[in-house]
Amino acid sequence: MTLEDIIKETKTYYCLECGKCSSICPISRHNPSYSPRLMLEKALNGFEGDLINDQELFSCLSCYNCLLRCPADVDYPLFMQKVRALASAQGKYGVPAHSGTLQSLMRLMSNPAIEQRRLEWLSDEYRISEKADILFFVGCAPYFESVLDFKTGALDIAKDSLKILNALGIEPMVLADEKCCGHDLLWTGDVKTFRKLAEHNARIIKESGAKKIIFSCPEGYRTFKFDYPHYVDLDCELQHITEFLAENMGKGKLNFKEAKKKVTYQDPCRLGRHLGVYEQPRKLIEAIPGIELTEMEHIRDESICCGTSAWTNCDAYSKQIRTERLLEAKATGAEMLITACPKCQIHFKCAMVSKGEERGPDVEMDVMDIVNLVASALGDNGSE
């Protein structure tokens, strides 16, 4: 795919040069050398080399803020995704976070010869079935815990998701050989490995005969919903766990015990702006008696991203975005920040670890996934 094809596909030539994208972009707000509008200008004026060698090319968070505001409907995130593929084909990569360990694990995972031991965390406490209509996609959670320096809580999300599904009387399938959905590789331009992962996942899901896939990670959900159809053929109903729970809360026997807490909710960009799931998580939080939801200044489609995406170009500006968001959350007076994406949680916790010394208690706050909140509020009869 050449730059011209990308321009045609993402309708970049419609750009009005109004600069709304650059004014809303969370990265541009902190980093003056990055501007989505400038990137598009470079492409439209044919400065392909400039564009590909730009060190800010991998800074885009693909948070969809620009896409929602663009009056000309230019798909800037998709443009970034494709240009990055072009750049990585020429050996240009961003600066990977955690020195590229996670990308390396994904590449290793794409090898068909390996047999992962990714389900060792499953204990008898959780009921799963060999064959069922509903499949729970665990995602990368088993790896996060062993790569990152602090307790990420990613695995707890998977555990608690199973706990809630069990409480609803559902025993989902969990695949032992599922692989990374490939989201991060796709957004860092490694389309070849992404295709391998996507083909593997589509094949094993087809073989398992699942009719519905439930995700606890919005990134996996997004990738399956929007990106997989371009690469593989997969005919399944897809749902995020918050959507599923909001739908089935009334039907099942989810009994909540009272929990006195004041919380605030962070809309993850993938779940909110990409997929339009704003209501269901809020409905779920409000269903728990005693929980008071106070909203931050920027919510729903105006929500601020957690600062990094696809484990790449995580720099001081990303930290600033995170700190900004955490201060906003603090300002609501809530005791706890609830997110619905494991990566939001990881990024916020990381901001607290490294910002802790400078800002002290300013940004420190409990961060929890919505699934953990629901699971902790489940009453005794619920878990039976």
Partner 1 sequence: MNGFNLSRSICTRQLLQTKRRRKITEFEPRIIVFACNWCTYAAADIAGTSRIQYPHNVRIIRVMCSGMIDPIYVLRAFERGADGVIVAGCNYTDCHYIDGPVKCDVMFEKLGKCIHTLGLEDERLRRELISTSEGTIFAKVIKDMVNQLKKLGPSPFRKKVKS
CA angle 130, 166, 120 (to 5 degrees): 55
DSSP string across 192-234: HHHHHHHHHHHHHHHHHT-SEEEES-HHHHHIIIIIHHHH---
Q: What b/e readout covers 234-261, taking b as 16+ CB neighbours within 10 angstroms? A: bebebbbbbbbbbeebeebebebeeeeb
What is the nearest approach in angstroms of partner 1 to the Cβ of residue 107? 6
Q: What DSSP designation does 257 have?
A: P
Q: How many residues are listed for the chain in this entry?
A: 384
Nearer to partner 1, 117 or 260 (CB): 117
Asked if 117 touches partner 1 (CB under 8 A), the answer is yes
> How many chain residues interact with partner 1 (CB under 8 A)?
22
Coil, strand or helix: which one is 118? coil
Beta pairing partners, 339: 369
Structure tokens at 212: 């519905």
Candidate list 99, 251, 260, 361; residue touching partner 1; CB under 8 A: 99
Rounded to the nearest whole angstrom, what is the least distance from the CB of residue 111 to partner 1 in the complex?
A: 5
Nearer to partner 1, 104 or 381 (CB): 104
Candidate residues 93, 126, 143, 224; the one interacting with partner 1 per rule CB under 8 A = 143
- Phi, psi dihedral angles at 104 (to 5 degrees): -65, -45
Distance CA 286, CA 249 (A): 12
Query: Rounded to an integer, what distance in angstroms lies between the CA atom of residue 308 and that of residue 279?
Result: 24
Spatial distance between the Cα atoms of 345 and 337, rounded to a whole number of angstroms: 9
Out of 14, 23, 48, 100, the residue judged to bind partner 1 by CB under 8 A: 100
Closer residue to partner 1 in complex, CB, 6/102 = 102
Instruction: Considering only residues 283 through 322, tell me which ones interact with partner 1, judged by CB under 8 A.
Output: none
Nearest of 78, 9, 24, 62 to residue 313 by alpha carbon: 62
Q: Which is nearer to partner 1, 44 or 119 (CB)?
A: 119
Q: Cβ 110 to partner 1, closest distance in Å?
A: 9
Residue 120 binding partner 1, by CB under 8 A: yes
> Judged by CB under 8 A, which stretch of 82-90, 144-152, 319-327, 358-366 contacts partner 1?
144-152
Q: Tell the smallest beta-carbon distance from residue 144 to partner 1 (Å).
A: 10
Among 77, 94, 139, 142, binds partner 1 (CB under 8 A): 142
Stretch that binds partner 1, among 110-118, 274-282, 332-340, 364-372 (CB under 8 A): 110-118
109 contributes a contact to partner 1 by CB under 8 A? yes
Nearest to 187 by CA among 7, 49, 34, 312: 312
Q: Is 11 in the site for partner 1 (CB under 8 A)?
A: no
- Per CB under 8 A, the list member of 82, 118, 282, 343 interacting with partner 1 is 118
> Which of 30, 69, 107, 206 is the binder for partner 1 (CB under 8 A)?
107
Which residues inside 348-367 make contact with partner 1, applying CB under 8 A? none
Give the C-alpha separation, 138 to 127, whole Å.
15
Region binding partner 1 by CB under 8 A among candidate stretches 85-93, 100-108, 277-285, 329-337: 100-108
State the residues that interact with partner 1 by CB under 8 A. Answer: 98-101, 104-105, 107-109, 111, 113-118, 120, 142-143, 145-147
